[in-house]
Structure 1
């Protein structure tokens, strides 16, 4: 089942169950997916493109969450945390620290990286492997640990 079909099914269910917050988040994600399809001039997004859009939505909310926490806006913090929980249902299962570390070690060996100056090569080869399954900042920190 594609992401769009899943979103449509969940949207109908949220309407039936009168879950306003979930309905709002699903509509926002659907709008983002449609906007991306228009931008790319395609009728249907690939799974990879859908994952990119979802990851972008999660990242935006995490960034906003940090800003709202700094500003002491607990009302908005709670709202964003609830949105993140809903969005993360649609992301692939996240990699554990050990799984991510293993993939990083394999990728470092593949590109023959030896120092921090090879960081770009490692990240370029690694990110497609973990797309949607791990946060980019977290991946970056692990790569730095292994290259130092």
Structure 2
């Protein structure tokens, strides 16, 4: 079993014993999402820690989007609950990159693509730069932030 999934299950047991309702709800939903991911497809399989992190990142994103929707609908209490659950799940993700660190990694990715192409990449090569950047970033920044940094670097 993946180490991260085992940690989630242990933390869920502790949250149940301590009667921490927000933590309990967030961990239950996360574990349900992991189980769904494991049984998706033809063959049930164990997820690696990297795959578990991707699922958790997706769940955090869902919570943040739901919080925005609830806030927009005037349901501040429910929006806060979604934000609290997102915060619980964020604790299990790797530390997010600062803007400076992200910029450095994007610059390195542009340099790699430049070496491959033999010329400086333009907007048309954004996909290639994104692929190289995402390999370096490995889930430590949201896709939107990465895309914005790559666009800015390719323009500038």
TM-score (structure 1 length as normaliser) = 0.92
- Which residue does the alignment assign to 1:73? 75
Q: Deviations over 1:91-146 (max 9, x none)?
A: 01111111111100000110115222211111122223323210111111111111
- Which residue does the alignment assign to 1:37? 38
Displacement over 6 Å in runs of 4+? none
- Which residue does the alignment assign to 2:54? 52
- 2:121–2:154 CA contact under 8 A, matched in 1: yes
Gaps of 5+ in 2: 115-119
- Which residue does the alignment assign to 1:147? 154
The structure having more radius of gyration, on CA atoms, is 2
TM-score (structure 2 length as normaliser) = 0.88
The two structures, once aligned, show a CA RMSD in angstroms of 1.5
1:66 CA drift (Å): 2.1
1:48 CA drift (Å): 2.0
- Which residue does the alignment assign to 2:21? 20
Structure 2 SS opposite 1:111: helix
For 2:71 and 2:126, the matched residues in 1 are separated by 31
1:64 CA drift (Å): 1.7
